[in-house]
């Protein structure tokens, strides 16, 4: 139920604990959800923990705790089960009170200020500007945005950041690919770059370059094409700006926005990469071998040491990452979270090792284990029972824009957060477009629209009853004691679980838990609607039921908004 009720029950048990075992800490008290409804609304194992400390029989301790618990109008029954669990069953009025809590709080219901505005940086998408965003980037975007919203809902001061890998071999290959197209070379020709990009978008960039167009706007510096096929530096800058703008357009269509964009190239121009390397050397954590500079990552739990600077003088992939994460710490983010593909798993240990080496030399006190990582696995796209592997424009993969155009933003976002990040996910396009209860986003959105439809019927039938009841809070004063059927109590309990669901999802960086919760709440609503009439003749009952479904609508809207999905009034 609501945090208020949970805190109330904890306080009752704490008072009993103080009488039975003075001096024992209230931290012994934890409340859990029983797996079976017949065991009550909450279960507490404190008697068994206390019995071990006091070397007594746990059921005897549980009996004493129950006898010492103060009476409460919200607690209907407390009983002992098993080896000494204390099972608590709430009175109906405690469950009914959640409706008033939801309607009074409105959009703030479920939110908390517990984090006290602590800063946290969430980095996600961070795609190389070498092509359109693919569905993996889409999964990152949906996960990162939802995780950011979850943390914000717990009171963190969240900054969303996109890190552009606009330097290195991949960018060189992009420039060479565009240059080849400018010169009229086709991808199958012998002269085509060995690691060149082959998608149709490369031809589009080349065409605009030859036409002398200008790309870039806002935060992307504008650059005018020179039209010169030999000016590789201008071609590189033009292609990067072109693709950054295109990725921005895709993210805008996806409803994802960032507070900051960080360029990898700036780490080199500002000397941050070199300073990070010098710090690692100064820390005594490096050595020269075979013409290369190595980092002693084995000192930090890695299975072998890693090359920092290759024999040709170039840096390996993780070195600029170390420099980048030093900037996160220096910018005042003691907590940083990276959402990345599972192919980055091998870099985690070496990045953290590098940060600890820099920290020791520079006196930064970077916390061990910094930053946090959420790694997601690949997405397989299915359509008409077959895997979709390529996009006409990208050439070798399915783009995020393909999905948005095919199934819409809402379905794409809901589906991409609907499974644990570390599980492989099959995106079924046909399911995402279907209007059936098997389609989770349709099922949840339809529950919201269904409540809106009932309210519209009510206002049409009785303008006098509906007069003045336009906002959620206008229903808060209605007598809720008539909400006592089995299905109503189930709905009430589910509503009360929303704040705990958000807290757990934020703690575990697991937005799929919100999607699961919304599906369960929608299921309770549909079952209730199919079994009970809301607009009954008896006015007190009707108003109580309307207040209940309005509260359900509010929580559905809150949860959908949090994961970036719309809450339609009609479907």
Query: What would the pLDDT profile of 143-197 be if each residue is shown by its tens digit?
Result: 999 999 999 999 999 999 999 999 888 999 999 999 999 999 999 999 999 999 9
Tell me which residue of 316, 565, 543, 359 sits closest to 448, measured CA to CA: 565
**pTM for the full predicted model:** 0.92
Is it true that the peptide bond before 371 is cis, omega within 30 degrees of 0? yes
In whole angstroms, what is the distance from residue 529 CA to residue 519 CA?
A: 15
560-570, pLDDT tens digit by residue?
Answer: 999 999 999 99
Non-local (6+) Cβ contacts of 15 within 8 A are 68, 69, 70
Percent of the chain with pLDDT over 70: 99
pLDDT for 399 equals 95
Q: What is the largest CA-CA distance in the chain?
A: 88
Top-confidence range, 35-49, 199-213, 455-469: 199-213
| Mean of pLDDT values over 219-246 | 94
Q: Which residue has the tokens 């060189």?
A: 172
Per-residue pLDDT at 5 exceeds 90: no
Per-residue pLDDT at 9 exceeds 90: yes
CATH 3.10.180.10 matches 3-90: no
pLDDT for 38 equals 80
In whole angstroms, what is the distance from residue 461 CA to residue 469 CA?
A: 14
Per-residue pLDDT at 40 exceeds 90: no
CATH of 437-562, one of 1.10.10.10, 1.10.730.10, 3.40.50.800, 3.60.15.10: 1.10.730.10
299-318: b or e for each residue (b if 16 or more CB lie within 10 Å)? ebebeebbbbbeeeeebbeb
Query: Radius of gyration of the chain from Cα atoms?
Result: 29
Own/partner contacts of 463-468, CB < 8 Å, gap of 24 or more, are 465/539, 465/542, 465/543
| Mean of pLDDT values over 101-128 | 96
pLDDT for 217 equals 85
| Mean of pLDDT values over 545-553 | 97
| Mean of pLDDT values over 555-562 | 98
106-115, pLDDT tens digit by residue?
Answer: 999 999 999 9
Place 218 in a pLDDT band, splitting at 50, 70 and 90.
confident
Per-residue pLDDT at 391 exceeds 80: no
pLDDT for 2 equals 62
Domain boundaries, the chain: 3-90, 170-235, 379-433, 437-562
Q: 103, 551 in Cβ contact below 8 A?
A: yes
pLDDT for 1 equals 52
Task: Give bridge partners of residue 75 from the DSSP assignment.
Answer: 90
């Amino acid at each position: 139920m609501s945090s208020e009720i949970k805190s109330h029950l904890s306080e009752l048990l704490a008072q009993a604990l103080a009488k039975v075992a003075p001096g024992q800490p209230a931290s012994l008290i934890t409340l859990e959800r029983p797996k079976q409804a017949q065991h009550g609304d909450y279960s507490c194992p404190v008697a068994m923990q206390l019995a071990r400390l006091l070397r007594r029989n746990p059921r005897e301790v549980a009996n004493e705790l129950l006898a010492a618990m103060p009476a409460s109008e919200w607690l209907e029954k407390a009983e002992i089960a098993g080896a000494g669990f204390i099972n608590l069953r709430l009175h109906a009025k405690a469950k009914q009170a959640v409706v008033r809590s939801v309607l009074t709080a409105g959009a703030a219901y479920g939110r908390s200020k517990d984090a006290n505005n602590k800063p946290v940086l969430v980095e996600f998408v961070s795609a190389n500007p070498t092509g359109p965003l693919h569905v993996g980037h889409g999964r990152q975007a949906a996960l990162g945005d939802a995780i950011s919203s979850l943390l914000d809902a717990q009171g963190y001061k969240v900054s969303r950041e996109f890190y552009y890998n606009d330097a290195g071999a991949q960018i060189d290959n992009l420039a060479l690919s565009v240059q080849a197209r400018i010169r009229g070379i086709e991808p199958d020709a012998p002269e085509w770059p060995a690691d060149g990009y082959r998608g149709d978008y490369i031809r589009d960039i080349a065409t605009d370059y030859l036409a002398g167009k200008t790309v870039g706007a806002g935060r992307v510096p504008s650059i005018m094409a020179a039209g010169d096929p030999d000016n590789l530096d201008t071609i590189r800058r033009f292609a990067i700006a072109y693709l950054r703008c295109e990725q921005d357009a895709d993210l805008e269509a996806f409803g994802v926005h960032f507070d900051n964009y960080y360029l990898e190239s700036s780490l080199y121009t500002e000397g941050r990469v070199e300073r990070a390397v010098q710090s690692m050397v100064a820390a005594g954590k490096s050595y020269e071998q075979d013409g290369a500079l190595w980092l002693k990552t084995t000192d930090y739990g890695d299975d072998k040491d890693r090359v920092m600077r290759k024999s040709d003088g170039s840096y390996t992939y993780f070195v600029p990452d170390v420099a980048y994460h030093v900037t996160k710490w220096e910018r005042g983010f003691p907590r940083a979270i990276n959402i990345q593909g599972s192919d980055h798993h091998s870099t985690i240990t070496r990045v953290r090792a590098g940060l600890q080496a820099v920290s020791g030399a520079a006196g930064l006190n970077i916390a061990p284990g910094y930053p946090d990582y959420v790694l997601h696995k690949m997405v397989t796209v299915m359509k008409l029972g077959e895997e979709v592997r390529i996009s006409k424009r990208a050439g070798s993969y399915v783009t995020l824009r393909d999905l948005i155009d095919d199934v819409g933003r809402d379905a794409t976002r809901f589906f991409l957060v609907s499974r644990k990040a570390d599980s492989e996910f099959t995106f079924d396009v046909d399911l995402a477009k279907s209007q059936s209860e098997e389609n989770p986003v349709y099922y949840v959105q339809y529950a919201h629209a269904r409540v809106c439809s009932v309210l519209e019927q009510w206002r049409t039938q009785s303008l006098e009853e509906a007069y003045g009841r336009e906002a959620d809070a206008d229903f808060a004063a209605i007598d809720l004691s008539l909400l006592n059927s089995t299905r109503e109590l189930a709905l009430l309990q589910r509503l009360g679980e929303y704040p705990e669901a958000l807290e757990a999802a934020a703690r575990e960086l697991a937005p799929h838990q919100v999607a699961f919760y919304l599906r369960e709440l929608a299921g309770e609503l549909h079952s209730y609607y199919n079994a009970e009439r809301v607009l009954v003749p008896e006015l007190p009952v009707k108003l109580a039921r309307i207040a209940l479904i309005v509260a359900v609508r509010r929580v559905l809207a809150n949860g959908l908004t949090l994961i970036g999905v719309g809450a339609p009034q009609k479907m």
